[in-house]
Amino acid sequence: TSSGEGVDVDIGRAFSFVFEDANWVKKILIGGLISLVPLLGGMVTYSYMLEIVRRAYEGSGDELPEWDDFGGYLLRGLILFAALVIWFLPVIVLLGCVVGLRIAAADTSDNDGVAVISSLVLFGVVSVLILVIVVWSVVFLPILAGRYAVERRFGALFEFGEIWSEVRRAGAVPLLLLFVTYLAASMIGQLGIIACFIGVIFTAFYSNLVIAHGAGQVYRRARSLGEPAAPTSAPAF
């Protein structure tokens, strides 16, 4: 447990809360099966995770959400996906430019030295971009998930000043603790491989719920210097 500014982050709770729902087996089975649907299934399940984030942020009980709003889950998942693509757009463009230059260099030169140098440059740039993505995911992704889960506004994902303030209030230790939780939950998610690879569908979904609950707690800490935002039923945009 990490505390600060009067707000605790209880990672143990993130691992155990699922089992307090009387229908947890059914809900996890449904989530695992939905996740098998290409692309759209992922949108729905990640939006379901946002509901976990919101509930953990509010401290409004640990029952798992019902699977009774597929349309809403799909819409919110699509909106979050679009926002994340925009956030990653500079990285995508830079990577595309570097790959394009590497291909051009290979096509226009028969010099092996040029090919080696361009390959090394490409490797270096890709390595840096991977590091940027990891750091961005650790620092910003929990805050973005929390903002959208609580406010349900597309614009909330681009209020950069407020986002940075919330990152600072969340603190480095809770964010790193959440990342360690992600690694531990991911390892648990792989345990389903033991069951002829089929079980991984459901253990992976469980691990996502763990991460979502932890993210909700971290976001509650990020908003701890003010009153928590009340949930809204306003349109997603």
Residue 59 has pLDDT above 80, yes or no: yes
Note the pLDDT tens digit of each residue in 70-120. 999 999 999 999 999 999 898 888 888 877 776 776 666 555 666 677 677
Mean pLDDT of the chain: 83
Per-residue b or e along 56-76, where b marks 16 or more CB atoms closer than 10 Å to that residue's CB: bbbeeebebbeeeeeeebebb
User: Which has the minimum average pLDDT: 21-35, 41-55, 164-178, 179-193?
Assistant: 179-193
Looking at residue 4, what is its pLDDT? 45
Model pTM score: 0.82
Note the pLDDT tens digit of each residue in 197-224. 566 788 889 999 999 999 999 999 998 7
Looking at residue 115, what is its pLDDT? 64
User: In sequence order, what are the residues at sequence separation of 6 or more whose Cβ sits closer than 8 angstroms to the Cβ of residue 78?
Assistant: 43
Note the pLDDT tens digit of each residue in 115-142. 677 677 778 878 888 888 889 889 999 9
Rounded percentage of the chain residues whose pLDDT exceeds 70: 82
Note the pLDDT tens digit of each residue in 152-176. 999 999 999 999 999 999 999 999 9
